């Protein structure tokens, strides 16, 4: 099959303005589109807005507007925000568009004709905020578990979709297709919903006496369609279901992106709806965790940047894209804080990548008058090893992106970035220049420039503003493809390098305007021994200690104490720099299961970034540290609690 890729975001409700959670999913979709396009795929990216239902009517009336005017305004705000952030969506669907209405009505008619929609009287506990009925099992003390407001018992006649009929089929389908819903924890979540009790059929209509703002049922004009049944169909209405070529072309390769909040409609309603309408299931449902905003709320300086455009203004476009993709382990929640962003910018972008580019350009300026040197035919300066590492990093990265493990993938590329920084330290071009070893110097500098070109191409889907700047400065087209750089021989000798300013300026934390003083209640909670070294359980809970496995270990050149370790944390594969060299040989460490402090701020040691710390015990300062080792039956990734 030729290479195609179709990525969708949830269509966002127009009852609120775009915020960083929406921005994350949409940036991720934009990244994926660019990444697969770079790999030669025909890639298509859809986003849009969800505009029907009670919720929107309510928000509009609060804003003193008609639903349509209100939806027009907020939908335009979403579209405009994504445009101004340079996101390259191919289509923006609104559920109030005619093309969407016809598709929804056509699906409804098909399912109705097949006998899977029936009319019945129903009494149930309804939440107006969620616009849905809750079963006895789902409600908490008679309240909505999400809104914590009392549910209202209402009785009405409505149309129902026979979802239960497809329960067994769906459970089987998910079991037979392990990647249908990923990561695994969400697949298991959906399977748990399907195991055991029979699914309730889905109420898919609202009487117009109660709600008019929706799509009229094709078989009964006294009812509108339930907003979720309407909204999910956007993924096919936008690509011209049923007849359009785009539907035939892209539907078989669809990748939905959502967060964990909307797993049930996507994991259960949607595949059963598709099945009933005789449409092939989607290919993948990819579920990410939540950005935890607590810190953002607390920090004065971040208070004004939760709007995506302000966020970009404050930190920079590429900085935010990199942060989003590197910081979140896809599937798990992540912390959104100014500090976390600044650490990524300063350590990964400024120290590792920015520094590599700057040092290299400065040296070419100094030693070669700013012109790209030719490699000396007799001196490769280790080109084979660099090429091998480049291809290795590239294939590890693309493999991880295919598996939606972006953070691990990027880390593998950064290993290559760090290797290049080490290459500079080891080859010492300034000495080569002083000693007039021009052949070696030319090849070293050329190898570096070519590697930077390779990295810029691979990273262009993430760093979409700075990668083209690097490529142009190297005399390459801003839109260079992977083929051009695959053998690290893309540059033309004698080309004058363009100007390269500071790509990623180091950032300072904004000063907190108001000091955060502990609240009285917190002080009391600390108990009578407060101030005597005791900590609150919540303080301990902030330390993420996990079982990890050491995969590789090597000495850090130039240091007698440090070892560079690669460890599998269960969340990712990461680098740890540990002061173990006097006590352990590298070989003796490989394969050990140890304890890792996984959420420690990255630290730079001997120009390498350490992402965490291993726990060791020693009696006193002079004592030899003994690593805390664990037995084999404790799984990697298990968290200490
Ligand atoms: N309209 C429905 C989706 C219908 S899709 C057929 C909806 N809209 S929403 O505006 O509430 O958007 C929810 C989505 O926004 C999440 O699934 C996620 O993609 C994104 N996020 C919103 N807040 C988020 C975080 N705090 N963190 C990460 N993503 C979040 O649900």
Q: Which residue has the higher pLDDT, 544 or 369?
A: 369
Testing ligand 1's pocket by substitution, the residue of 8, 10, 306 carrying the most ligand atoms inside 8 A of its CB is 10
Whether a cis peptide bond, with omega within 30° of 0, leads into 561 is no
Q: Which residue has the higher pLDDT, 401 or 605?
A: 401
Helix, strand or coil for residue 631? coil
As a whole number, mean pLDDT of residues 163-170 equals 97
CB of 256 closer than 6 A to ligand 1?
no
User: In the chain, what are the domain boundaries?
Assistant: 4-288, 337-485, 540-627
Q: Report whether pLDDT(437) > 70.
A: yes
Whether a cis peptide bond, with omega within 30° of 0, leads into 183 is yes
110-128 confidence digits (pLDDT tens): 999 999 999 999 888 988 7
| Closest ligand 1 atom, residue 13 Cα | 10
As a whole number, mean pLDDT of residues 566-589 equals 86
**Pair 454, 482: CB distance under 8 Å:** no
Among the residue ranges 178-192, 194-208, 247-261, the one predicted with the least confidence is: 194-208
387-423 confidence digits (pLDDT tens): 999 999 999 999 999 999 999 999 999 999 999 999 9
CATH, range 540-627: 2.40.50.140
Of the candidates 122, 131, 81, the residue with the CA atom closest to the CA atom of residue 231? 131
DSSP symbols for 131-199: TEEE-TTT-BTTB-TTT--B-EEEEEEEEEE-GGGGHHHHHHHHHH-TTSEESHHHHHHHHHHHSSSPP
Of the candidates 30, 37, 27, the residue with the CA atom closest to the CA atom of residue 3? 37
As a whole number, mean pLDDT of residues 610-624 equals 84
Q: Supply the residue whose CA is at minimum distance from atom 7 of ligand 1.
A: 12
186-215 confidence digits (pLDDT tens): 999 999 999 978 999 999 999 999 899 999
- Residue % of the chain over a pLDDT of 90: 72
At 1 the pLDDT is 59
Q: Residue 624 and residue 618: Cα distance in Å, rounded?
A: 6
| Closest ligand 1 atom, residue 259 Cα | 17
> What's the pLDDT band for 533 if we cut at 50, 70, 90?
low
- Highest average pLDDT, of 285-299, 349-363, 537-551, 593-607, comes from 349-363
Q: Look over the chain and give the mean of its residue pLDDT values, rounded to a whole number.
A: 91
At 538 the pLDDT is 64
Testing ligand 1's pocket by substitution, the residue of 9, 22, 55 carrying the most ligand atoms inside 8 A of its CB is 22
Q: Report whether pLDDT(173) > 60.
A: yes
CB of 350 closer than 6 A to ligand 1?
no
Q: Give 381 Cα–ligand 1 centroid separation in angstroms.
A: 51
Tokens of 310: 């302000």
Testing ligand 1's pocket by substitution, the residue of 261, 293, 323 carrying the most ligand atoms inside 8 A of its CB is 261
Q: Give 180 Cα–ligand 1 centroid separation in angstroms.
A: 20
At 377 the pLDDT is 92
Q: Report whether pLDDT(340) > 70.
A: yes
Q: Report whether pLDDT(435) > 80.
A: yes
Superfamily of domain 337-485: Isoleucyl-tRNA Synthetase; Domain 1 (1.10.730.10)
Catalytic residues: 19, 22, 127, 130, 144, 147, 297, 300
CB of 50 closer than 6 A to ligand 1?
yes
CATH topology of domain 4-288: Rossmann fold (3.40.50)
Q: Supply the residue whose CA is at minimum distance from atom 30 of ligand 1.
A: 21
As a whole number, mean pLDDT of residues 272-299 equals 86
pTM over 0.85: no
């Amino acid at each position: 099959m030729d290479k195609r890729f179709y990525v969708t975001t949830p269509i966002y409700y127009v009852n609120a303005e775009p915020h960083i959670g929406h921005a994350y999913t949409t940036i991720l979709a934009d990244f994926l589109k660019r990444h697969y396009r770079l790999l030669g795929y025909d890639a298509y990216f859809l986003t849009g807005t969800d505009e029907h239902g009670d919720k929107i009517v309510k928000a509009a009336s609060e804003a003193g507007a008609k639903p349509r005017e209100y939806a027009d305004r907020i939908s335009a705000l979403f579209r405009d925000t994504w445009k101004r952030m340079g996101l390259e969506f191919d289509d923006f669907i609104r559920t109030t568009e005619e093309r969407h209405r016809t598709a929804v009505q056509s699906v409804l008619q098909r399912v109705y004709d097949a006998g899977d929609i029936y009319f019945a009287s129903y009494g149930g506990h309804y939440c107006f905020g969620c616009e849905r009925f809750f079963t006895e099992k789902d409600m908490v003390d008679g309240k909505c578990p999400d809104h914590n407001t009392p549910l209202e018992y209402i009785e009405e006649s409505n149309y129902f979709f026979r979802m239960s009929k497809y329960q067994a089929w769906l459970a089987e389908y998910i079991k037979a297709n392990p990647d249908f819903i990923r990561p695994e924890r969400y697949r298991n979540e959906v399977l748990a919903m399907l195991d055991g009790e029979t699914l309730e059929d889905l109420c898919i209509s609202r009487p117009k006496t109660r709600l008019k703002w929706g799509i009229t049922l094709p078989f009964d004009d006294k009812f509108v369609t339930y907003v979720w049944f309407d909204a999910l169909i956007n993924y096919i209405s936008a690509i011209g279901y049923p007849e359009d070529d785009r539907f035939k072309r892209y539907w078989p390769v669809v990748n939905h992106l959502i967060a964990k909040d909307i797993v049930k409609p996507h994991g259960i309603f949607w595949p059963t709806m598709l099945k009933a309408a005789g449409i092939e299931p989607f290919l993948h449902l990819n579920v990410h965790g939540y950005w935890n905003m607590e810190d953002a709320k607390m920090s004065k300086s971040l208070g004004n940047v939760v709007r995506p455009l302000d966020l970009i203004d404050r930190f920079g476009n590429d900085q935010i894209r990199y942060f989003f993709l590197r910081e979140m382990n896809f599937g798990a929640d992540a912390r959104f804080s100014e500090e976390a962003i600044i650490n990524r910018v300063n350590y990964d972008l400024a120290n590792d990548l920015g520094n590599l580019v700057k040092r290299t350009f400065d040296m070419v300026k100094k030693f070669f008058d700013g012109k790209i040197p030719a490699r000396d035919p007799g001196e490769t300066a280790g080109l084979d090893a660099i090429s091998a590492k480049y291809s290795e990093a590239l294939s590890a990265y693309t493999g991880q992106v295919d598996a939606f493990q972006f953070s691990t993938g990027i880390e593998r590329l950064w290993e290559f970035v760090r290797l290049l920084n080490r290459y500079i330290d080891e080859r010492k071009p300034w000495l080569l220049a002083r000693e007039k070893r021009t052949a070696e110097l030319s090849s070293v500098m050329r190898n570096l420039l070519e590697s930077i070109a390779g990295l810029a191409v691979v990273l262009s889907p993430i760093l979409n503003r700075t990668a083209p700047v690097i490529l142009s400065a190297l005399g390459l087209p801003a839109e260079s493809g992977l083929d051009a750089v695959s053998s690290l021989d893309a540059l033309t000798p004698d080309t004058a390098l363009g100007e390269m300013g500071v790509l990623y300026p180091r950032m300072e934390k904004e000063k907190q305007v108001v000091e955060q003083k502990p609240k009285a209640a917190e002080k009391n909670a600390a108990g009578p021994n407060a101030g005597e070294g005791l900590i609150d359980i919540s303080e301990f809970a902030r330390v993420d200690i996990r079982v990890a496995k050491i995969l590789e270990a090597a000495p850090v050149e130039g240091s007698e104490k440090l070892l560079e370790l690669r460890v599998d944390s269960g969340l990712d594969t990461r680098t740890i720099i540990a002061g173990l060299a006097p006590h352990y040989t590298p070989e003796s460490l490989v394969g050990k299961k140890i304890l890792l402090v996984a959420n420690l701020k990255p630290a730079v040691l001997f120009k390498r970034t350490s992402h965490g710390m291993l726990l060791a015990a020693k009696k006193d300062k002079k004592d030899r540290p003994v690593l805390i080792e664990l037995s084999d039956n404790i799984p990697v990734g298990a968290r200490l609690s």
